[in-house]
Amino acid sequence: MKVIPFNVAESIISQGIVFSDDIGESGELKEIDIYNVYKYADLVNKVTIHFYDLNIFSPVVLGLSCIIVARKLSHFKNEWNHKFLQMTTLNFQKIENCFNTLYK
């Protein structure tokens, strides 16, 4: 079975992409922010399947980048959370190029 970014992002989503130390742009996260981040994560994840030129990124990098883009779109004060390092062994510098590609 081949691992694809879609599977990686879904795995990360299932582990949780909102953490107790996350805050929104204006302070405490609102329920709508939490709802939105899961919806955006699913949407960005599904959209990336249709862009062949994203194949230059590894599945883990692309999957995690989808999550970080979703957190940015949902107005998290810090789109990166150190818990992603524990979940994937990737730091933000390793996904930054992919994140910028997706977010632009």
Q: How do residues 44-61 score in pLDDT, each as one tens digit?
A: 999 998 888 898 999 999
And the tokens for 46? 């599904």
Backbone angles phi, psi at 76, to 5 degrees: -70, 140
Range of the domain at 65: 5-15+24-103
Domain count, the chain: 1
Q: How do residues 3-27 score in pLDDT, each as one tens digit?
A: 576 788 999 999 999 999 999 988 8
Backbone angles phi, psi at 27, to 5 degrees: 115, -130
When pLDDT is averaged across residues 76-100 and rounded to a whole number, the result is 96
Q: Which residues contact 8 (CB under 8 A, 6 or more apart)?
A: 59, 60, 62, 63, 64
